[in-house]
Structure formats: structure tokens, C-alpha cells
Amino acid sequence: MIFLRQLDVVLLLLALPIFLAADQPPLGWAATTIAWIGQKALQAALERKAANSEDPKHFFRFMAGSLIGRSWLLALTIFAVGIVDRDAGLAAAVLALVVFTCYLAISLIMRAPQNHSERPL
């Protein structure tokens, strides 16, 4: 289970040799990797803080703020890299899209209902 939850990070690590073999700018890989790991650390910290909150409003504020803030962190990183080097920005955006798709799929699979047989008709 831990491997599945961290598959997005494994995918980032596997992308480095692909970037180098395809002669893509390493700046795109580095920026996406740093931003992705940073946003995951921010997510973990805010989820812990939200879990400790007894007020449901605070919980949802932390979670909504986490989602918005992490998205902006990744988007602004890609944008900044694109300003410095357009090819690196494109490579960073494509890598972020692939990693996010993996993260979303794994998140949906991990949160899927475990017992489908008890569903009402």
C-alpha cells in the first residue's frame, strides 16, 4: 500500500533517465520534482493539522486551502520555468500532467468502496 501511495514520486524518479535520454531540459524535471515533493509535504502537514481540528469548518478550510495552495504552487513553478526556458516549461508541464494523472488514479483506487456487494439496488 505504501508503494502505491508513493507511486507518483517513483514515477518522478523514473522520469529522470527518460528526460536525459530524450534530451529534454533537466530544469523541467528538477522544477516539477521539487514542486511536486514540496506540495506533497505541504499536503501531509495540512492534513495532520486538519485532522487535529475539532471544528468541521476548520477541517474543510484546511483541506480547501491545501488543495488551492498546492495547485498554485505547482502551476506557478511551471510558469516560472517556462519564462526562463520555454522547452523546460513545456517538459515540466507534461511531466506534472503525467504525475498528477497517476496521483489522481491511485487516490481514486485507494478511496474506492471496499465492499460492493452491500450496495442497495
pLDDT for residue 118? 53
Can you tell me the distance from the alpha carbon of 1 to that of 16, in angstroms, rounded to the nearest whole number?
Answer: 24
The string of DSSP codes covering the chain is: -HHHHTHHHHHHHHHHHHHHHTT--HHHHHHHHHHHHHHHHHHHHHHHHHHT--SHHHHHHHHHHHHHHHHHHHHHHHHHHHHH-HHHHHHHHHHHHHHHHHHHHHHHHHTS-S--TT---
pLDDT for residue 84? 96
- Cβ atoms of 78 and 31 closer than 8 Å: yes
Per residue in 44-89, pLDDT (tens digit) is 888 888 888 788 887 888 788 888 888 999 999 999 999 999 999 9
Domain regions of the chain by residue span: 7-106
0.85 surpassed by pTM:
no
Asked if pLDDT for residue 112 goes beyond 80, the answer is: no
Can you tell me the distance from the alpha carbon of 63 to that of 51, in angstroms, rounded to the nearest whole number?
Answer: 10
Per residue in 1-44, pLDDT (tens digit) is 677 778 999 999 999 999 999 999 999 999 999 999 999 998 88
pLDDT for residue 57? 82
